[in-house]
Amino acid sequence: MTTSFHISVLPGDGIGNEVMPCALAVLNQVGQRIGRRFHFEQHVAGAQHYADHGVALTDKVLADCEKADAILFGAMGLPHVRGADGTEIIPQLDLRFRFDLYAGVRPIRTFKGLPTPLADPRAADIDFVLVRESTEGLFYARGRGKMEGDEAAFDMMKISRHGTSRVCDFAFKLAAHRAQTKSRPGRVTNVDKANVFTSMAFWRKIFEEHAAKHPAVRSDSAYVDAMALNLVMKPWTYDVLVTENMFGDILSDLIAALVGGMGMAPSGDIGDKHALFQPAHGTAPDIVGQGKANPTAMILSAAMMLDWLGAKHGDTALIDGARAMKPPLSMPLRRIMSNPLNLVGKVAQRRSQNLCCRTCMLRSARLQQHEYVQTPSQARCCDWRGLFQSVPFARLGGDAGRGDRRYL
């Protein structure tokens, strides 16, 4: 069994460069504790690189991503850097299409100690996954849009049997796994607009065909507008959602707001051979260099990467490493955060002096008797190394070898 993994690292633009170092520091420490080594190959890429050199992703970057065991991605894109058609330079879309990363996985759950915008106490039990088809849908139109002079613009949606079948299959397998690990029935909810669009009626037909193949997993469907309402009114009732590309793009931002904002939302773009992991937030150029960038989503995305690598290679040590990265994030939230905060990657607001130095949440916290407590002293910026050295691994990872895939 291999114990060394090649990770292609693309910090990207904006706060991607601020949150990535924290994730790498955590991965190095976890790797030491589980006996695994990560070789990080970092590359300069993104919208700024496009502005400076005319290319966002060089052949060298793409070649390294191709041979890497996984891709760890910060954030790319800048509002002022656009192509000839007026759209932004968004390299992550190029990577999804090139490496056929068809399943956009967006896990969302509440953190103890972190206030949510929902008053209902059941919001404390939010724990579900949105699976977004990431290679077709309305995003298929990228680069294919047509103009009729200066009077009209047309973008085409693509829904294929192949693309829809594989993402539905992914969602049902995920729900079955979650049912096993959580000891309760699994459920997949399809989100579409089948009452209006032929393409969406076709999508639902394929979903229902796959539902019939997975009788042990409950299934239902909802129109996307009704789902937008339900995700505010009763998000704790859902398990796995599966939806088209554009609908998933929009709903994934909505669900992040339920648990603290984009800075708390990890994601993975997963294919049959390759996978990319990144925080759901953007580059947030308005807060770059202000010490407001929250690295939680980046670190949780790195945990998802370990989870995926562990499942792919049958390596329970990697899965234990992924599980070990959750409690250290929850502890400072429980101890430090007593006031409502908006931990959003794009519009983060600093409402507590105890939260967020430039790249970490531990500015006013230290580890004492394996618990986080507030102290007058200032912890070194991004001192995750001390965090993982101080906490016994058994306390972090739970039962060794259990293989509880939390995120996938």
- Amino acid identity for residue 354 in this structure: N
Do both 121 and 172 map to the same domain? Answer: yes
pLDDT > 70 fraction of the chain, expressed in percent and rounded: 80
How far from each other are the two terminal CA atoms of the chain, in whole angstroms?
22
Do both 405 and 351 map to the same domain? Answer: yes
Tell me the CA distances in angstroms from 114 to 110, 129, 298, 302, 334, one per residue in order.
7, 19, 17, 21, 7
Q: Does residue 40 sit within a domain?
A: yes
Residue 206 and residue 221 in contact, taking contact as beta carbons nearer than 8 Å: no
Residue 101 has pLDDT above 80, yes or no: yes
The residue count of the chain comes to 408
- Amino acid identity for residue 408 in this structure: L
* Chosen domain end from 211, 236, 258: 258
Residue 359 and residue 293 in contact, taking contact as beta carbons nearer than 8 Å: yes
- Amino acid identity for residue 3 in this structure: T
Instruction: Indicate the pLDDT class of residue 58, thresholds 50, 70 and 90.
Output: very high
Q: Give the domain CATH number at 155.
A: 3.40.718.10
DSSP 387-403: HHHHS-HHHHH-STT--
Do both 140 and 22 map to the same domain? Answer: no
Q: Does residue 295 sit within a domain?
A: yes
Do both 75 and 171 map to the same domain? Answer: no
Tell me the CA distances in angstroms from 346 to 104, 279, 284, one per residue in order.
20, 12, 4
Average pLDDT, the chain: 83
Per-residue burial over 133-148, b if 16 or more Cβ lie within 10 Å, else e, is bbbbbbbbeeeeeeee
Query: Which tens digits make up the pLDDT trace of 298-345?
Result: 999 999 999 999 999 999 999 999 988 875 565 555 554 433 334 433
Residue 70 and residue 308 in contact, taking contact as beta carbons nearer than 8 Å: yes
Q: Does residue 108 sit within a domain?
A: no
Q: What are phi and psi of 173, to 5 degrees?
A: -65, -40
**Residue 8 DSSP symbol:** E
Across residues 378-395, what is the average pLDDT? 40
Strand-strand pairing, 187-192 and 218-223: parallel
* Chosen domain end from 205, 224, 258: 258
Do both 245 and 152 map to the same domain? Answer: yes
Residue 408 has pLDDT above 90, yes or no: no
**Residue 280 DSSP symbol:** S
DSSP reduced 3-state for 168: helix
**Which of 344, 305, 315, 299 lies closest to 101, judged by CA?**
305
Q: Does residue 106 sit within a domain?
A: no
Cα–Cα distance between 149 and 130 in angstroms, integer? 38
DSSP 255-276: HHHTTT-GGG-EEEEE-SS-EE
Do both 246 and 294 map to the same domain? Answer: no
Do both 127 and 222 map to the same domain? Answer: yes
Instruction: Indicate the pLDDT class of residue 389, thresholds 50, 70 and 90.
Output: very low
Strand-strand pairing, 371-374 and 127-133: unpaired
DSSP reduced 3-state for 281: coil
Tell me the CA distances in angstroms from 14 to 17, 49, 193, 282, 405, one per residue in order.
6, 12, 35, 8, 31
* Residue entry with tokens 């103890």: 112
Q: Does residue 267 sit within a domain?
A: no
Query: Which tens digits make up the pLDDT trace of 184-201?
Result: 899 999 999 999 999 999
Model confidence, pTM: 0.84
Cα angle: 112, vertex 253, 85; to 5 degrees: 155
Do both 285 and 183 map to the same domain? Answer: no
Residue 149 neighbours by CB under 8 Å, 6+ apart: none
Dihedral of alpha carbons 100, 22, 367, 385, sign? positive
Residue 171 and residue 191 in contact, taking contact as beta carbons nearer than 8 Å: no
* Chosen domain end from 211, 226, 258: 258
Environment class of 162 (CB within 10 Å of its CB; exposed 0-12, middle 13-18, buried 19+): exposed
* Residue entry with tokens 């970092």: 42
Across residues 129-133, what is the average pLDDT? 98
Q: Does residue 110 sit within a domain?
A: no
Per the structure, how many domains does the chain have?
Answer: 2
Say what the pLDDT of residue 395 is.
Answer: 35
Across residues 380-405, what is the average pLDDT? 39
Do both 401 and 304 map to the same domain? Answer: yes
- Domain that includes residue 48, residue range: 1-101+272-408
**Which of 133, 140, 49, 136 lies closest to 89, judged by CA?**
49
